[in-house]
Amino acid sequence: MSRKPIIGISGNFIIDRGGMFPGYKRAYVNDDYVRAVAMAGGIPYIIPIVSDESIVIEQMSNVDALILSGGYDVNPLIYGEEPRQKLGAILPERDKFDIWLLEEACKMNKPVLGICRGIQIMNAAFGGSINQDLSYDENCYIKHFQETSPSTAGHTVEILEGSKLHSILGSKITTNSFHHQTLNRIAEGFTVTAKAKDGTVEAIEKDGENFVLGIQWHPEMMSSSSQEMLHIFGNLVKNAKKW
């Protein structure tokens, strides 16, 4: 009997603001990612942030696919810009870690799914840039940081025919939305495969046969109530089995 594929989920830091240990770092990831992977038939593993690249190589060697999870803003110095007034909190330690994970996954031809911050670090790592706040994107008029339940679909996303995402979701879907940054210049070697009606980039895919997909919304938060969103994770698991 073949084993289920192991899906690594990039971890994050949460820093205690009070209690017994103010300033104390804790390694974590939102449970929605874990649950979505398990529901899709994979074995979820949280990959903790480390500062040793040799350990990152071993971490990626021990999983069959990678999810780049959400979290802090990406440091704009990565894509050659100075921080603007509305930039949120950054964590350069995590930027370096996620880029190492992504680079190793691509070297090993392992499937990658980037979610929210994940699509942004994916774009930045390969030479693209980011609008540091929605207000800096002159075409943005849709509410991209909703104030309703995370499982509620907030706006429409139109998907490019012939893309990997199109084969999963079809030509149109409604998604939740919790981001204050958007993709600007798209990295060379990637194709925009989904947009909101205001032109905001909602998905990119790395050119070629390998499954390297970034999406701007949070399908893990909708996966318990939406089979369509769960299919995204199912497709990642299916590609991990091929690997």
Q: Which of the following is catalytic: 116, 179, 202, 205? A: 116
**Is residue 44 in some structural domain?**
yes
Share of the chain above pLDDT 70, in %: 99
User: What letter does residue 136 receive in the DSSP assignment?
Assistant: G
Torsion, Cα 149 156 199 121, to 10 degrees, reads 50
Per the structure, the count of domains in the chain is 1
**Is residue 215 in some structural domain?**
yes
**Is residue 1 in some structural domain?**
no
| Residue type at position 27 | A
- The CATH code of the domain that includes 193 is 3.40.50.880
Catalytic site residue 220? yes
Q: Which of the following is catalytic: 104, 202, 205, 220? A: 220
Q: Is the dihedral of CA 92, 212, 150, 24 positive or negative?
A: negative
pLDDT by 10s per residue, the chain, length 243:
578 999 999 999 988 888 888 888 889 999 999 999 999 999 999 999 999 999 999 999 999 999 999 999 999 999 999 999 999 999 999 999 999 999 999 999 999 999 999 999 999 999 999 999 999 999 999 999 999 899 999 899 999 999 999 999 999 999 999 999 999 999 999 999 999 999 999 999 999 999 999 999 999 999 999 999 999 999 999 999 986
Q: Which parts of the chain fold into alpha helices (H)?
A: 31-39, 53-61, 92-107, 117-125, 164-169, 227-242
Q: Is the dihedral of CA 118, 119, 124, 127 positive or negative?
A: positive
Give the rounded distance of the alpha carbon of 222 from its chain centre.
15
Catalytic site residue 106? no
pLDDT tens, residue by residue, 157-186: 999 999 999 999 999 999 999 999 999 999
Maximum C-alpha span of the chain? 55
> How far is Cα 81 from Cα 17, in angstroms, rounded to an integer?
30
pTM across the whole model: 0.96
If DSSP codes are grouped into helix, strand and coil, which group holds residue 211? coil
Which range marks the domain in which residue 177 is found? 6-242
pLDDT at 83: 98
**Is residue 211 in some structural domain?**
yes
